[in-house]
Homo-oligomer: A and B are copies of this chain.
Amino acid sequence: MSEQQRDAVANPAKRPTIRDVAAVAGVSKSLVSLVYSDPEKVSEARKGRVLAAAEELGFRPNLLARSLATNMSDFIGILVADPVNPVFAEIIDAASLEFDRAGRRGLMTTAVLPQSGTVRLLNEGTIATLSDLRPRSVLIAGSLPDVTSLGSLAEDRPVVVASGLAEGLPSAGSVRTDDRKGLALLIEHLTSLGHSDIAHLGGMTAVGRSRADAYEEAMTRHGLARHVHVQDSDFTELGGYVAATSLLSRENRPTAIIAANDLAALGVQRALDERGLTPEDVALTGYDNSFLASIAGVSLTSVDPHNGVIGREAARWLIEAEAGNDSLPHELLIEPRLVVRRSSGSGI
Interface residues of A (CB under 8 A from B): 60, 62-65, 67-68, 73, 75, 83-84, 86, 89-90, 92-94, 96-97, 100, 103, 105-110, 113-115, 123, 125-126, 128-130, 132-134, 237, 266, 269-270, 273-274, 291-292, 295-299
Contact = CB atoms under 8 A, between A and B. Distances in A.
Contact of A106 (B64, B96, B126): B126
A336 B93 CA distance: 31
Nearest to A83: B89
B105 A107 contact: no
Contacts of A106: 109, 126
Contacts of A270: 295-296
A63 B132 contact: yes
A295 B114 CA distance: 21
A153 to B, nearest CB: 12
Contacts of A92: 83, 110
Count of chain copies: 2
Contacts of A67: 64
Contacts of A132: 60, 62-64
A292 B266 CA distance: 10
A117 B61 CA distance: 31
A130 B107 contact: yes
Contacts of A123: 96, 100
Contacts of A291: 84, 237
A232 B127 CA distance: 42
27 contacts: A60-B128, A64-B64, A64-B67, A64-B68, A64-B73, A64-B133, A68-B68, A83-B89, A83-B92, A83-B93, A84-B90, A84-B93, A93-B115, A96-B113, A96-B114, A97-B113, A97-B114, A100-B113, A105-B109, A107-B108, A133-B133, A266-B295, A269-B297, A270-B295, A270-B296, A273-B296, A274-B296
B114 A94 contact: yes
Contacts of A84: 86, 89-90, 93, 291
A135 to B, nearest CB: 10
A62 B128 CA distance: 11
Contacts of A114: 93-94, 96-97
Contacts of A64: 64, 67-68, 73, 132-134
A205 to B, nearest CB: 20
A324 B299 CA distance: 51
A86 B94 CA distance: 17
Contacts of A266: 295-296
A89 B274 CA distance: 28
A295 B295 CA distance: 10
Given A93-B114, A113-B100, A114-B97, A105 B83 contact: no
Nearest to A98: B114
A125 B99 CA distance: 10
A300 B123 CA distance: 33
Nearest to A126: B105
Given A266-B295, A269-B297, A115 B97 contact: yes
A123 B128 CA distance: 25
Contacts of A297: 269, 273, 295-299
Nearest to A104: B125
